[in-house]
Structure 1
Amino acid sequence: METFYRTHCYLVEHTNAPVRRLLMDEINWNDRLIGIKGTRGIGKTTFLLQYAKEKFGTDRSCLYINMNNFYFSDHTIVDFAEQFVNDGGKVLLIDQVFKYPEWSHDLRICYERFPQLKIVFTNSSVMQLEDFPEINDICKLYHIRGFSFREFLNLKTGHSFHPYTLQEILENHQPIADTVLRNTKPLDYFKDYLHHGFYPFFLENRNYSENLVKTMNMMIEVDILLIKQIELKYLTKIKKLLYLVAVDGPVAPNISQLAKEIETSRATVMNYIKYLSEARLINMIYPNGESFPKKPSKLLMHNTNLMYAIYPIKFEKKDVLNTFLLNALSKGHNIYKGDRGSSFSVDEGIRLRIAMEEGETKNNPRYYYAIRNMSVGHGNQIPLWLFGFLY
């Protein structure tokens, strides 16, 4: 146990999160079993350690452990938790819990056996709580996202801009933009964000694109194959499917053609598309009222950084901007296929359309226009970058 405490203290003391994530204040920390899921490389470990640092420091009542540790190949979480509680432990932070067999079963036992213990665990983005009936009724699950443009801008400029709701942006975008522009020029940073601002490892002194490609491979190999228990021989099919989807761009997928290309059935292609979506590699867009297992109306990459990482792909600039807008809106909003005049329909019929320049399209008062090369908007013309302030 002392070895785990020493590791915990070292990690907490050397944790320096560049951005305090909003999720820290959105979680109800009074709950006894909290799950945090997110894509590989998104900062789940840093988030756990930042929580420990903020709330406990090196107090021994909180302990971080990682299921990669070989100790847990011969010891159970339940036995470890019992020893921790007997030593006065109150909060157990478990990283990469999916690496441990029967993890949901053991967490249920811990929940019932140690009522004084709180457990916070991280898991892959493909985790669906309904697949784990042992903890479905007692676990509160949260999703940690990549950096928003607001967070990226704060990092680059040293400012502390706060987020706005969609309604605030739609109704008050001009004074909000004015406030930001008094301190910095967001358009100077927007192109960089689209290329390399979503994943925290852009802060590391490594080649970002190469690192992202490795991360994407790990998403498929671990988050899909390992967790979904798919045989390794199907790895190349899933990777090829992702590439074909990326090459095709944001269009309705031709499932029969994709099935022919990767030599599998239509049903398998649809399942693979669902897994890629759960791994946060792509986004599926449906008309309002439809969902999986129906064929999506459109497939987009999950975020713009992924588009630049898959080479060689020729994509339209508007495809990148639509991907950015969809990703920014996807926290807390329902997004559906737009009508012929709009890119997306959001929640209860808010119509949004991308434009590169003001005046590019005929202004229709039924739509809101998200405009790329605009610093300050007016009326229903809104700077696209401002939607990056939604979280």
Structure 2
Amino acid sequence: MDALFVKHDRLIANTSTEIVRDMMNQVNWNSRLISIQGAKGVGKSTLLKQFVKLNYKTADRKVLYCSADTVDLSRMTLVELAEQFVMNGGKRLIIDEIHKYDKWSREIKEIYDLYPELQVVVSGSSLLSLLAGDADLSRRCVKYTMHGLSLREALRFYERIEFPIYKLEDIIANPYEIWEQVSAKCKPVEQFKKYLQHGYYPFFMEDKEDYYTKLEQVVNYVIEVELPMICKVDVAYIRKIKALVGVISESVPYELNANKLAAAIEIGRDTVVSYLKNLSDANLMNLLYSDKKSIGKLTKPDKVYLENTNLLYALSPSSVEIGTARETFAVTHLSKSHNVEYGKDKGDFKVDSRYHLEIGGKDKRFSQIADIPDSYIFADDIESPSGAKLPLWMLGFLY
């Protein structure tokens, strides 16, 4: 235990609380069992360490933060750790990277049952929910998903400019008010262009020079380590999955032809669909299905996007299609709190079974969604709204 606390003290001391994500106030930290999952690099570990630093005094032994892959846990089980911790007065156990500990869900359930006085927080991969498997544990656990920075959050992180969250309904109903509030503090189109290329992952602030290199490492880690470990993907197919990601990153938005894609990377059609769903679960991709389709296990998605625009620029820097970047940005922000479907013949996207949205440049016309109720264009390269044509950057304030 002493070695774990030495590491705990060092990690917490080195954690800055200058900027804290909004999620800090969205988590009910009083719950007995909490899980925070999200893609590698979005800031889960930082959030947990900041929570400790903001809520406990230095050397307070009622809380312990540790990573599940620390060498100290190779000499004891999680249950043994919890037993020693509680015996010495511990009240809150925070275990990061929990997916790296074999059979973690069984031991966490046992800890929950044995020590009702102990609060447990675990964090891990976006694939954490697939790994849990235990229905009893799932019912006991309060789950949260952490995403990368929205455009709004990026302005706060990198420019120190604060804005509230604007709901989609507010953007549609009061776009002029929002434009006035935002444009009074910054040039939104300029900031939007910068955000497309960098800033979704908070570690951009730490190392701007090697940001894209680190992003490639994130993608490789998910494909080479997390998919085989959690989804039981055969390591022999890792090259095929990387090829699949490469094809998607270089493509303009189009209706997915699973058979053609399968032929291009020389694997079966159902295998392509399965891998796409794995990559979506890992928060590397967003899959959209037609609003006219019921979704089954092997139903192919109609459109596929990388999870955020920064991945586009990291994986295919010389051939990023602006149309792809625009639509990717829209899906990234809309999908966090809305149901987004491929609009098929009525706009690019159908949102919450109500709104029909077209995404494009400043000259985009309403021909595809003319005379359709609740239809709007979100356009790039415009700063202010004009009737039902709204600035695309406004979607960056949805979370």
Asked whether the two chains share a fold, i.e. TM above 0.5, the reply is: yes
What pairs up with 1:329-344 in 2 under 5 angstroms? 329-344=334-349
Q: Mark the CA change 1:12 to 1:132 in structure 2 (over 3 Å): closer, same or farther.
A: same
- Confirm or deny: 8 A CA contact 1:35 1:140 kept in the other structure: yes
Counterpart in the other structure of 1:297: 302
Write the letter of the residue equivalent to 1:371.
A
Q: Do structure 1's residue 225 and structure 2's residue 228 form an aligned pair?
A: yes
Counterpart in the other structure of 2:20: 20
Q: Do structure 1's residue 145 and structure 2's residue 147 form an aligned pair?
A: yes
What pairs up with 1:271-350 in 2 under 5 angstroms? 271-288=274-291, 290-291=294-295, 292-311=297-316, 314-350=319-355
Write the letter of the residue equivalent to 1:82.
E
Q: Which shows bigger deviation, 192-201 or 103-112?
A: 192-201
Instruction: Extract unaligned runs of 5+ from structure 1.
Output: none
Q: Equivalent residue of 1:147, what SS? A: coil
Counterpart in the other structure of 2:378: 370
What pairs up with 1:44-83 in 2 under 5 angstroms? 44-58=44-58, 59-83=60-84
Counterpart in the other structure of 2:105: 104
Match for residue 264 of structure 2 among 252, 261, 264: 261
Deviation (angstroms), 1:358: 5.2
Q: Equivalent residue of 1:135, what SS? A: helix
TM-score, normalized by length of structure 2?
0.93
String of CA shifts for 1:45-64, please: whole Å, max 9, x gaps.
Answer: 10111111222243221110
Counterpart in the other structure of 2:387: 379
CA distance in 2: counterparts of 1:78 and 1:33, whole angstroms? 15
Counterpart in the other structure of 2:124: 123
Q: Which shows bigger deviation, 36-45 or 9-18?
A: 9-18
Write the letter of the residue equivalent to 1:383.
P
Match for residue 196 of structure 2 among 191, 194, 197: 194
- Confirm or deny: 8 A CA contact 2:313 2:320 kept in the other structure: no
Deviation (angstroms), 1:168: 1.3
Q: Which shows bigger deviation, 78-87 or 378-387?
A: 378-387
RMSD: 1.9
CA distance in 2: counterparts of 1:352 and 1:197, whole angstroms? 25
CA distance in 1: counterparts of 2:37 and 2:329, whole angstroms? 21
The alignment covers a number of residue pairs equal to: 391
Deviation (angstroms), 1:312: 6.0
- Confirm or deny: 8 A CA contact 1:286 1:296 kept in the other structure: yes
Q: Equivalent residue of 2:120, what SS? A: strand
- Confirm or deny: 8 A CA contact 1:19 1:151 kept in the other structure: no
CA distance in 1: counterparts of 2:102 and 2:71, whole angstroms? 13
- Confirm or deny: 8 A CA contact 2:285 2:305 kept in the other structure: yes
String of CA shifts for 1:177-220, please: whole Å, max 9, x gaps.
Answer: 20111111122211111001111121123421111111111111
Q: Do structure 1's residue 4 and structure 2's residue 4 form an aligned pair?
A: yes
Write the letter of the residue equivalent to 1:290.
S
Identity of aligned residues (%): 36
Write the letter of the residue equivalent to 1:370.
F
Q: Which shows bigger deviation, 81-90 or 240-249?
A: 240-249
Deviation (angstroms), 1:108: 0.2
- Confirm or deny: 8 A CA contact 2:364 2:379 kept in the other structure: no
What pairs up with 1:140-219 in 2 under 5 angstroms? 140-205=142-207, 206-219=209-222
Moved over 6 A (4+): none
Deviation (angstroms), 1:243: 1.3
Q: Which shows bigger deviation, 93-102 or 20-29?
A: 20-29
CA distance in 2: counterparts of 1:252 and 1:390, whole angstroms? 26
- Confirm or deny: 8 A CA contact 2:227 2:233 kept in the other structure: yes
TM-score, normalized by length of structure 1?
0.95
Deviation (angstroms), 1:17: 4.6
CA distance in 1: counterparts of 2:97 and 2:137, whole angstroms? 17
Deviation (angstroms), 1:253: 2.5
Write the letter of the residue equivalent to 2:325.
V
CA distance in 2: counterparts of 1:73 and 1:60, whole angstroms? 22
Deviation (angstroms), 1:359: 6.0
CA distance in 2: counterparts of 1:199 and 1:162, whole angstroms? 20
Counterpart in the other structure of 1:36: 36
Q: Which shows bigger deviation, 151-160 or 176-185?
A: 151-160
Write the letter of the residue equivalent to 2:339.
N
Deviation (angstroms), 1:36: 0.6
- Confirm or deny: 8 A CA contact 2:258 2:273 kept in the other structure: yes
String of CA shifts for 1:281-333, please: whole Å, max 9, x gaps.
Answer: 11110023522421111111111111111236634312110100000011111
CA distance in 2: counterparts of 1:220 and 1:313, whole angstroms? 23
Write the letter of the residue equivalent to 2:311.
L
CA distance in 1: counterparts of 2:148 and 2:37, whole angstroms? 12
Match for residue 355 of structure 1 among 360, 368, 379: 360
CA distance in 2: counterparts of 1:118 and 1:147, whole angstroms? 28
